[in-house]
Amino acid sequence: MTLKEMREKRAKLIKDARALIDLAETEKRSMTEEEDTQYKKLFDEADELRAKIEREERQREAERTLQQELGAEGERNGDRGADRGAERGRTDHLMATFRSFLASGDIGGDGAQEFRDLSAGVNVEGGFLVIPETFVTQLIKAMDDMVIIRELANIIPMTNAASIGAPTLDADPGDADWTTELSTGTNDDEMRLGKRVMQPHPMAKRIKISNQLLRTSALPADALVRQRLAYKFGVTQEKAYMIGNGDKRPLGLFVPSTSGISTGRDVSEDMTQTKPTADGLINVKYSLKTAYWNRSNWLYHRDVMKEIAKLKDSDGQYLWRESMREGEPDRLLGRPVRMSEFAPNTLAAGQYIGLLGDFEHYWILDALQMQMQRLAELYAESNQVGFIGRYEGDGAPVLEEAFARVQLAA
């Protein structure tokens, strides 16, 4: 099925689901249990297609980017000269040696010097190696494509410093004064600057790959390992960026905190205790300063979107509009909608159910030095090899006024 066909099928499913809502409204009644079940089934099918469309679009974009990088790399290699050509050859040799380590655990032969460089004080006898920067960069890029928050956030690579202070404006200065040419206005003592310290926190993930797959896969060993690690790291990071408590891990968007987004940015006016309402969502949008609107995105779980997709404004128009164009997300009240399986989805009194915000003000800190351990013996009985990847990073919202949390009535 082509992308166009998937979009057309999704639009038909959504139209059929909305027909059930419109019928109940025309007959001035609530949806029956059978209609509600059918609506949920249609919406779930439409959401599965949305996920497939997004994956296909990401894959196409990754392929386009790769082709561009390969073309640009070829042009650079033609102009570099002997020194840069040797540097490139050295990088290629290093990656080839690392690939050999992943595939077979070999640390001898022609690659011995490269492995001594990779070990860099790490216990090579125990199977630990520092991962080459090329592999790390590709892994981080893969995570950026897989994790909703990473796709939207401000990502800061950090290789040396132990921590970074994120300056925050805790209190605005007073208004300026109308004055004369030679006057300077009144002295201001209201402005306050705070600082949230972000520092790399370690994270590890273990994956298992069969020996046969390592030997016969069309993907090279490093790409295979990178693919699985990106998924595993991505899941853990996405959860932390949503609901992490900030203790030796990122501080999440849905965790009320004076160091992140306080309860002062919660909006529950006009919401019910079990469902969002059109008026309530309008309140959320207008609680955000217009300066943040152009870069803002809604963030919801698909279970919440099933309810939001039913809502209409005072003119009888649906608040949510599905996308019909490549690379364009669905929209709610004019702003893009992002969906994550790790956003909250409990429709109960006082619970958070979503968020509208400018995610550039969620900072993610990446410490790019990573390690890899190869476990050859532990899974020998199942003919598998284990790999433990280690990553360090942090994340936190640094400007709470750039976000508005959607909360059901207490």
Does some domain include residue 323? yes
pLDDT at 42: 94
Quick one: 29 and 140 in the same domain?
no
State pLDDT tens for residues 313-326.
988 999 999 887 77
- Provide the whole-model pTM: 0.74
pLDDT of residue 129: 59
Pairing of strands 296-300, 320-321: unpaired
Give me the pLDDT at residue 189, please: 59
Count: domains in the chain: 2
What range does the domain containing 199 cover?
A: 131-170+192-410
Q: How many residues does the chain have?
A: 410
Instruction: Specify whether 237 is located in the same domain as 359.
Output: yes
Q: Which of 36, 56, 79 is the last residue of a domain?
A: 79
384 within 8 A of 226, measured Cβ to Cβ: no
CATH number where 298 lies: 3.90.1690
pLDDT recorded at residue 80 = 47
Q: Is residue 96 part of a domain?
A: no
Q: What does the pLDDT read at residue 172?
A: 52
Residue 97 lies in a domain: no
Q: Are residues 219 and 298 in the same domain?
A: yes
**282, part of any domain:** yes
> Are residues 160 and 42 both part of a single domain?
no
Per the CB < 8 A criterion, the answer to whether 10 and 49 are in contact is yes
Q: How many Cβ atoms sit within 10 Å of the Cβ of residue 180? A: 6
Looking at the structure, do residues 137 and 73 belong to the same domain, yes or no?
Answer: no
Q: Is 309 within a domain?
A: yes
Strand pairing report for 128-130 and 362-375: antiparallel
> Are 29 and 154 in a shared domain?
no
Could you tell me if residue 102 is inside a domain? Answer: no
Are both 58 and 152 inside the same structural domain?
no
Measured on CA atoms in the order 108, 113, 117, 121, is the torsion positive or negative? positive
**In this structure, are 203 and 299 located in the same domain?**
yes
Same domain, 31 and 159: no
Contacts made by residues 312-317, CB under 8 angstroms, sequence distance 24+: 312/278, 313/278, 314/278
Query: Looking at residue 112, what is its pLDDT?
Result: 44
Determine the pLDDT at residue 283: 97
User: For residue 100, is it within any domain?
Assistant: no
Q: Which amino acid is at 52?
A: K
Say if residue 45 is in the same domain as residue 136: no
Residue segments in the chain with a per-residue pLDDT below the cut of 70:
62-63, 65-94, 106-130, 159-163, 165-175, 181-196, 217-219, 368-369
Q: What integer pLDDT is reported at residue 230 of this predicted model?
A: 84
Residue 315 covered by a domain: yes
**SS3 for 348?**
coil
**Tokens for 307?**
């309810």
The tens digit of pLDDT for each residue in 9-49 reads: 999 999 999 999 999 999 999 999 999 999 999 999 999 99
Q: Are residues 142 and 27 in the same domain?
A: no
- Same domain? 53 vs 154: no
Domain boundary among 79, 104, 122: 79
